[in-house]
Amino acid sequence: MIYGDTSFWVSLYVEDAHSAQAVELLRENKRSILWNDFCELEFLTALARCCRIRSMSEDLRRQILSRHQRAMKDQLGVTIRQPDWGAAMQRGCALANSVILTLAGRSLDVLHVGIALELKVPEFWTFDKYQAAVAESQGLRVRGV
């Protein structure tokens, strides 16, 4: 299984410097990619931010959400799996108290990594170099950066 962070999911749907790589990662993938409520929240807020900064229209945001919902059902090989949220939060707090002292990272970054660890996912896809460093420090195989 694979854990894709917000930067992966957004690059998959919104044309940016990493979009071609996101599509290629998905194309070559034979394993399931995890999705959970936190992924949903982060994806929705990232798209809303694109609208706020005017790099995306509201109409395009609605089209992306519709396309994503169809793909989740039909194409991506996504597994919806919720972690034990308390345990994932504890893992994130432990990361914030240890590796974030030497590595850059934000609370949402360490929570993504905490969720991946809690779900025992060995591979982490991200285009965020700081989040990649946190994931790698925990033994996750990182792709994307």
Q: Each residue of 81-133: pLDDT tens digit?
A: 999 999 999 999 999 998 877 887 788 889 999 999 999 999 999 999 999 99
Lowest-pLDDT choice from 19-28, 101-110, 135-144: 101-110
Q: Is 105 helix (H, G, I), strand (E, B) or coil?
A: coil
In the numeric block, which tokens belong to residue 144? 């994307």
What are the pLDDT digits (tens) for 48-92?
999 998 888 999 999 999 999 888 877 667 888 999 999 999 999
Q: Taking the CA of residue 82 as centre, how many other CA atoms within 13 Å lie in the half-sphere pointing to its CB?
A: 7
Residue 71 has what pLDDT?
A: 83
Task: Tally Cβ neighbours within 10 Å of residue 58.
Answer: 10
Is 78 strand, coil or helix?
A: strand
The two tokens of residue 101 are 């002292």
Ordered by where they begin, the domains of the chain are: 2-143 (3.40.50.1010)
Report yes or no on whether pTM surpasses 0.75.
yes
Q: Express each pLDDT in 29-41 by its tens digit.
A: 888 899 999 999 9
